[in-house]
Amino acid sequence: MLSTDKTVNLNTMPTLFPVQMSHSDSQPNMMAIQSSLMTYLIECVLLEQWLAQNRIEVTTTFDYLAEQDLPQAVDSLPNAYQSFFAQDNPLLVLQISSDSRLLLPVESAYTAPWRLHQSCVPILYRLNNAISACLQPLEAVEPLLDILLSAMDHSALSATGIVKLKESLQASLVAKTQSAHADISTTVYSQPHWYQTLIAAEQWASLMDRPFHPLAKGKLGFTAIEYERYMAEFNQPIALVWVAVAKSHLMMSAQVKDISHQNPAAYLLDKTQQQQLRQILVDRNLIDTHVAIPVHPWQLAQVIDPSNNNSCDNDASNHDADSYAKDLADGTVIKLVFNAPITYASASMRSMLLSADTPYSIKLPIRVYALNSKRYLPALKLINGEKNQAILMQARQIDKVLSAQLRLWDERLWWGYMSPMHLQDKSATNPCFYQEKPTHLGAMLRSLPTDLCDDQVRLLPMASLGMLVSKDGVSHHIFDEIIQAKSPTTQTSHIKRAAIDCFKNLCEVFLGTMLRCLRLGLAPEMHGQNIVMVMKNHRFTSLLLRDHDSLRIYLPWLTRHQIADPEYLSPPNFKNRLYLETPKALIFYLQSLGILVNLRAIIEALSAHYEIDEQALWCEARDSINRALTDIDFDADQCEILREQLLTNPYYPHKTLLLPVIERGDDPHGSMPAGESVTTNPFFRAKNIDATLRVDSVRKHSEIKVNG
């Protein structure tokens, strides 16, 4: 846990991107894994204000050393710390207790006031007595979390929430260690077929998961073996299993007019497989009474029929209210001996992709806790997703540019378990919509626009572009392949410029499309897993949306364009969170998920890989917003508030991640817990730095002229 070895060279610590083992390694680099988790934990703690401001001292190494008289103690630290303290660097001091402090070697950041200095982990400073002090670098995230929690007022915290937070952090640490063993292909963009590129890019996205979230990799419910079997970065083929569900217990989407032709098998299976499955249903006299539904193999073993699974998680199986035992006993649900098609997990874990030239893929429920929410499939959300897809389709008709740049996965075909008494009730008062059992057995089909199923097209989840993969000491980014494909003779000296141009193209499409959505009163889910960038002829041409159930709307702006209130379903006496009360609340989703998470991850990856100054990339993104605000036909009030909130306000709202986990405790939920805090506007900071540099340049130029 603690290190006092002065020979440790922390300057050789890899970047904060996921660590991949080389062929010569026998163990993953635990120091790098721990360091990345500690960095994001500290960032969350500072942004979420775990400690009162009077317990955080902003100082410098020179001032603190002079005040505390610590030169001798610093001499016992590893070389990286001695180098840090030898210069007048910023230092944060967190008061943990009367006799201990946490020293954070930091540097300024674009999206937060501070981030941990890359080569240094936090230092625990213990005041042993008036003449003795002890400095100990913390090399593990779990004791760091304990220290931070010990400094908080526990009367305001949920004990079960703290347990859940620790459990999730431990699971994330283990998962990062396992993922270091994944053999990630560095061939993504140049795969032979479009669907192979999508699957390979999802592996990259899964390796990072949600960037900057300390708990992202933890999947509570998976064993170590299951994690490597079902997570996308391991690229394992997963054969779907099937059950027959009585038609009397099956709710379907409005688009399903004829279940005999519009069922999952008709879309997912080839002709031979369809015939095999049909024969199984015929042989068991189920062809007229039941419908075959695919199930994730983990879900069948752990939730639907855990009776023969000796290793099943008690938490997943011992829920009488959620049990399918009676349905299995009376024939409402019947397990079928049929395993097809072969699928591959996406980064979201429950969206399964086919390695075939087909527009179809499938989203399935899986009762694993990820980001402290269950990955189930509620009918209420699927119905709201249908409503949102209708809005998005209207938006494409209203705005010709959106028609070209905003593409949609069709998510209007779905099938889900439902009590016969409430089978036809798609109103908000259906009590089954608020029960957990029906959410664990169902399927949603996704269908791509057919013109995107083309080997001239490449589909890249934005999350994959915020990733670096290191193989045998060599760093890789997907832009490498794009630059090479665009211009095989690009000289090394021009690669940096080519990467910036590629990023500029990305910003024009992503930010321009999202701002057009905001103009109409819409805010799609903008994190990197939901948005897939479409490339043709080595250029980003459009973006593809999935998971329409998470679209947010601001009705007054929607109404300006004659788009009707979708009348979302929500629990009685509960305001649906898809409705937003103010324009600022709508813009929040672009600021928080779109910019502070999605674009930030891409900027930091490109900066590290191509040695591009972050400021240059933030300025490119800022310029894209400026151009969009000029080119798009915003109303005057819209343009004013967008410019203010996105560019001129020095602060951005920021999603909190860890305190909401503590607050939720063990309450079951289908969405990740989150709150809101405030952070630095990266464009405001980039603008100020840019202005300072211009002033310095003018001053130097003037001095040259004078001296000349």
Instruction: Read off φ and ψ for residue 416, nearest 5 degrees.
Output: -150, 145
The whole-angstrom separation of Cα 85 and Cα 646 is 36
Q: What sign results for the dihedral spanned by CA atoms 63, 68, 71, 76?
A: negative
- As beta bridge partners, residue 362 has 352, 445
Helix axis angle for 30-47 and 141-150, nearest 10°, is 20
Q: Which 3 state secondary structure label does DSSP give 653?
A: strand
Q: How many CB atoms lie within 10 A of CB 79?
A: 15
Neighbouring CB atoms inside 10 A of 683's CB total 23
CB atoms within 10 A of CB 697: 10
- The residues near 242 (Cβ < 8 Å, ≥ 6 apart) are 277, 292, 293, 294, 295, 336, 338, 339
- Per CATH, the architecture of 462-694 is what? Orthogonal Bundle (1.10)
Decide: 94 and 64 in contact? Cβ < 8 Å.
no
Peptide bond preceding 341: is omega within 30 degrees of 0, i.e. cis? yes
What is the C-alpha separation between 141 and 45, in angstroms, rounded? 13
**What single letter denotes the amino acid at residue 588?**
F
Question: What CA–CA distance (Å, rounded) separates 537 from 107?
Answer: 40
Q: Judge whether 81 and 51 are in contact, CB under 8 Å.
A: no
> What span, in angstroms and rounded, lies between the C-alpha atoms of 435 and 481?
47
CA distances from 637 to 107, 552, 641, 642 (A): 38, 20, 6, 9
Compute the radius of gyration of the chain from its Cα atoms: 27
Which residues of the chain are modeled with pLDDT < 50?
A: 1-14, 312-318, 693-708
- Alpha-carbon gap, residue 512 to 141, rounded angstroms: 39
Chain-centre distance for alpha carbon 278: 39
Residue length of the chain = 708
Q: What is the DSSP letter of 504?
A: H
Residues 6 or more apart whose CB falls under 8 angstroms from that of 629 comprise: 515, 639, 642, 643
* Distance, CA of 464 to CA of 606 (rounded, Å): 12
Q: Are strands 442-447 and 219-220 parallel, antiparallel or unpaired?
A: unpaired
pLDDT value at residue 693: 46
Distance of CA 388 to the CA centre of its chain: 21
Q: What is the pLDDT of residue 1?
A: 30
Cβ atoms < 10 Å from Cβ of 130: 6
Question: Whole-angstrom Cα distance, residue 59 to residue 117?
Answer: 15
Cβ atoms < 10 Å from Cβ of 572: 7
What three-state secondary structure class fits 489? Answer: coil
pLDDT, the chain, mean: 90
pLDDT at position 672 is: 66
Asked if residues 148 and 45 have their Cβ atoms less than 8 Å apart, the reply is yes
Q: Which amino acid does the sequence have at 670?
A: G
d(CA 678, CA 357): 45
φ, ψ for residue 115, nearest 5 deg: -140, 155
CA distance readout (Å), 557 to 148, 178, 520, 548, 563: 43, 47, 6, 19, 9
**Token pair for 323:** 């049990």
Question: Hey, what are 539's tokens?
Answer: 């250029």
DSSP code per residue over 19-88: P---TT-SS--HHHHHHHHHHHHHHHHHHTT-S-GGGEEEEEHHHHHHHHT-HHHHHTS-HHHHHHHHS-
Main-chain phi, psi angles of 119, to 5 degrees: -90, 5
Reported as half-sphere exposure (CB side, CA atoms, 13 A), residue 138 has a value of: 26
- Look up tokens 């409705």; give the residue: 579
Residue spans of the domains in the chain: they are 10-156, 220-343+360-450, 462-694
Q: Quickly list H helices, 69-193.
A: 71-75, 79-86, 141-150, 159-179
Q: Residue 477: which residues within 8 A CB-CB, separation 6 or more? A: 465, 467, 468, 469, 499, 605, 606, 609, 610
Question: What is the token pair recorded at 422?
Answer: 């409430």
Write the CB contacts of 7 (distance below 8 Å, at least 6 apart in sequence): 78, 79
Q: Given the structure tokens 């908080």, which residue do they identify? A: 152
Question: Pick from 669, 673, 245: which is nearest to 434 by CA?
Answer: 669
- Determine the residue type at 497: R
Structure confidence at residue 28 (pLDDT): 84
Beta bridge partners of 593: none
Structural tokens at position 189 = 């963009």
- Say how far apart CA 572 and CA 436 lie, in whole Å: 17
Q: How far is CA 581 from CA 83, 556, 635, 689, in A?
A: 51, 9, 19, 34
| C-alpha–C-alpha distance, residues 344 and 324, integer Å | 27
Tokens of 279: 């024969």
Residue 446's SS3 state is: strand
State whether the Cα torsion 23-24-26-29 is positive or negative.
Answer: negative
Copy the structure tokens of residue 530: 């939901």
Dihedral sign for Cα 532, 536, 238, 478, please: negative
